[in-house]
């Protein structure tokens, strides 16, 4: 599909997820920069007309205007992944991907908030947010440790899916709020592998492991 427009803030983790999906699916898009910090432009009337929740990212494709990171990832995978690899149709794999998308939206929310607080001094209890983020990363690391014992390299199935795409940014960017990646060796190995996915591109704060 041509004519995709992404409303985006370059340092926003959620916007990065949308950019990453667009790139991995081999799409071209136009970026409209939104002054999220310090301008809070996403909450101005012209942006609220696109997304009344006042959040980023937002994509526009023809008559479709879509917000909510998971919704955007699901839409792009459903419409642009001919291999059906990123959003598998088989029931158990589909359910597992959906589970990790839910985990990203809930358990990883404190990681998103902790990073914004560290970078932009947004409100919140820094200690609680960082501990909740670490707890979520421990769950992820335990999962991938078990997967590695079974000879698997990805969160679901035998290749990367939306589960990996959705989970990757929060851990990869967590050094911005003081997380030592050496504490999570299975996740270190996983993000190194994810960086090799065709179409991957990085953003400031993501480590380049060798």
Q: Is 206 a domain residue?
A: no
Q: Are both 46 and 101 inside the same structural domain? A: no
Per residue in 20-77, pLDDT (tens digit) is 999 999 999 999 999 999 999 999 999 999 999 999 999 999 999 999 999 999 999 9
Q: Is 55 a domain residue?
A: yes
Q: Are both 135 and 189 inside the same structural domain? A: yes
CATH code of the domain in which 12 resides: 3.40.30.10
Distance CA 90, CA 128 (A): 38
Q: Are both 98 and 190 inside the same structural domain? A: yes
Q: Which two tokens stand for residue 96?
A: 């597992």
DSSP, collapsed to helix, strand or coil, labels residue 29 as strand
Per residue in 95-118, pLDDT (tens digit) is 999 999 999 999 999 999 999 999
Q: Which two tokens stand for residue 131?
A: 């501990």
Please count the structural domains in the chain: 2
117 CB neighbour count, 10 Å cutoff: 19
Q: Is 199 a domain residue?
A: no
Per residue in 161-203, pLDDT (tens digit) is 999 999 999 999 999 999 999 999 999 999 999 999 999 999 9
DSSP, collapsed to helix, strand or coil, labels residue 191 as helix
Q: Is 52 a domain residue?
A: yes
Domain containing 70 equals: 4-80
Q: Are both 102 and 146 inside the same structural domain? A: yes
Q: Is 185 a domain residue?
A: yes
Q: Which residues pair with 5 in a beta bridge?
A: 30, 60
């Amino acid at each position: 599909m041509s004519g995709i427009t992404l409303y985006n803030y370059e340092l926003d983790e959620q916007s990065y997820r949308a950019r990453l999906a667009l790139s991995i699916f081999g799409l071209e898009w136009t970026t409209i920069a939104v002054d999220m910090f310090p301008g809070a432009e996403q909450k101005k009337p012209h942006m609220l007309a696109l997304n009344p929740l006042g959040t980023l990212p937002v994509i526009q494709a023809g008559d479709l205007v879509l917000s909510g990171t998971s919704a955007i990832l699901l839409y792009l995978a459903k419409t642009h992944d001919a291999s059906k690899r990123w959003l598998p149709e088989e029931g158990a794999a589909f359910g597992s991907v959906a589970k990790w998308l839910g985990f990203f939206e809930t358990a990883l929310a404190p990681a998103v908030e902790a990073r914004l607080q560290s970078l932009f001094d947004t409100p919140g209890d820094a200690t609680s947010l960082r501990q909740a983020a670490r707890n979520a990363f421990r769950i992820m690391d335990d999962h991938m440790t078990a997967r590695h014992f079974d000879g698997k390299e990805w969160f679901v199935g035998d290749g990367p899916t939306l589960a990996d795409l959705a989970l990757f940014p929060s851990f990869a960017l967590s050094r911005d709020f003081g997380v030592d990646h050496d504490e999570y060796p299975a996740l270190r190995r996983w993000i190194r592998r994810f960086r090799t996915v065709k179409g991957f591109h990085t953003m400031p704060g993501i480590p380049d492991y060798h």
